Structure 1
Amino acid sequence: MDLRLGTRILRPGQFAIMTIGLVGGADIAEVTADPEAVRTARADGRAIAVAPSSEEQAAACVRAGADLLIGDAFAGVAAATGAALLCSAPERAAGVRPDGVLVRATDPYVAERLAGAGHAVLVDEADPAVVSVFAWTGARVFRTADLDATRQVLDMVASIIGTRPPAISRRGLA
């Protein structure tokens, strides 16, 4: 199933990188759960995620332009406002639109099971080797501080699985 974050649609086999703060090249920026910070980040054009501390704060951030709420406790706000939700399990997202549910996975087996059931999966991982395993098993969103290495690994995996052409195509001649 597709994952819709604001105007961005992430299809199965496509990857996105989430960073804390406004890091150039990231697809999703996690910013402070403050409406003014959300409005400032919104001008940058990428999807905006927040980890609010209350339902009121979550609703205010969505009104300011946040696309993704982080935390099981905000399923009701996400359902009422149309925002996406990052949760710990699909059943925690009652009422949230199906293309707005992002589930956190902590091991590749769980990621593969969730992705196989049609759920969009997020992992927090910085090690490029582990990122490649999660990407191969179906995870789509990667929260990391090492944007360049993660992007390179995800581009490689996308080329191998056939959702992206290789950056360089050479024919081996002997």
Structure 2
Amino acid sequence: MAAPDVDLQTSLRPSAPELPDPPDRLRLGHRTFPRTQPLVMAIVNRTRDSFYDAGATFDLGPALERVAAVAADGADIVDIGGVKAGPGDVVDEAEEIRRVTGMVAAVRASHPELVVSVDTWRSSVAREACRAGADLLNDVWAGHDPELAGVAAEFDVALVCAHTGGLAPRTGPFRTGYDDLLGDVVGGVVGLARTALAAGVASDSIVLDPAHDFGKNTWQSLEVTRRLDELTGLGWPVLVSVSNKDFVGETLDLPLDQRREGTLAATAVCAWHGAQIHRVHDVAGTRRVVDFVAAVRGDQPPARTVRGLA
């Protein structure tokens, strides 16, 4: 008897914890979006040592100017961070709160149409940010602070559940290895989502993030991009953050200031695979890319159609 066809990789993959049926909408604080609507999240760093802009928006004035510019370029969300993701200056909780909360309040007052996200792994910072008006907690460090999900539930805001492969905050990967990378990604973020649901976070306010480069080398970030449909296929909203990252630079052997085309190519692949939120530096370029991909996918109509009709 012939052996049955078996996908060995799939058969060996550990099964992820189950989630309830995915929601048919995405609610980020005061805004609700259809699941087919691509969203652009603009990065605004209140740090002196950010890897990309080298502190250009550390001061409040330039940071607010950046928000006004990205809103004009088509951003739906602004992601405010007070601590560099990688190794760098020591920033305690009090200083992170100082950098973030005033900015959140100012953006909420000046741009009520924008979703305000805060990039933090600390529940104390998250609580003060929510009091200031944040709609979304972008926890890129995979639930390192177990109380953060409870803060999201307390204030009825959205929460990002990310995969880092067990990496501690502000550390870099070293000789990372996975028996099945996407199995680990899916299992990790689904487990965090279940924890969030148990803490009381609303099911329509949970976002999954494979976290390119976090706990991953370049080969692994490329694999996450190539196989992203295995995560989006769960039906839950997925955020990707590929903008100018090292896997883009290493793949093309380009320095930080020459990674725009590679970033947009990675963005297009992720959008085709169904990622809904795109965290970026280049808002205008990303807006065009994700809107075009959405039209190709049939998720939204072209902005104008006159060719062959007039």
Question: Normalized against structure 2, the TM-score is what?
Answer: 0.52
Bigger radius of gyration = 2
1:42 aligns with 2:178: no
2:154 match: 80
* 1:63 aligned to which of 123, 131, 140: 131
Mapped partners of 1:132, 1:164: distance in 2? 15
2:301 match: 165
Q: Tell me by how many angstroms 1:109 deviates.
A: 4.9
Letter paired with 1:4? R
Cα 1:87–1:153 shift into 2, 3 Å: same
* 2:122 aligned to which of 54, 62, 68: 54
- The equivalences for 1:1-174 within 5 A come to 1=23, 2-21=25-44, 22=67, 23-24=70-71, 25-31=74-80, 32=82, 34-43=100-109, 44-45=111-112, 46-52=114-120, 54-71=122-139, 72=143, 73=145, 74-88=148-162, 89-93=189-193, 94=195, 95=199, 96-105=201-210, 106=212, 107-109=224-226, 111-126=228-243, 127-169=263-305, 170-171=307-308
Structure 1 stretches of 5 or more lacking a match?
none
Count of residues in Structure 1 that have an aligned counterpart in Structure 2: 172
Cα 1:3–1:62 shift into 2, 3 Å: same
Q: Tell me by how many angstroms 1:112 deviates.
A: 1.5
Question: Normalized against structure 1, the TM-score is what?
Answer: 0.89
Q: Tell me by how many angstroms 1:53 deviates.
A: 5.1
CA RMSD of superposed structures (Å): 1.9
Structure 2 stretches of 5 or more lacking a match?
1-22, 45-66, 83-96, 163-188, 213-223, 244-262
Q: Tell me by how many angstroms 1:113 deviates.
A: 2.1
Q: Tell me by how many angstroms 1:100 deviates.
A: 1.0
Q: Tell me by how many angstroms 1:99 deviates.
A: 0.9
Letter paired with 1:84? A
Q: Tell me by how many angstroms 1:62 deviates.
A: 0.7
Conserved? CA contact 1:122–1:140, under 8 Å: yes
Identity of aligned residues (%): 35
Letter paired with 2:124? E
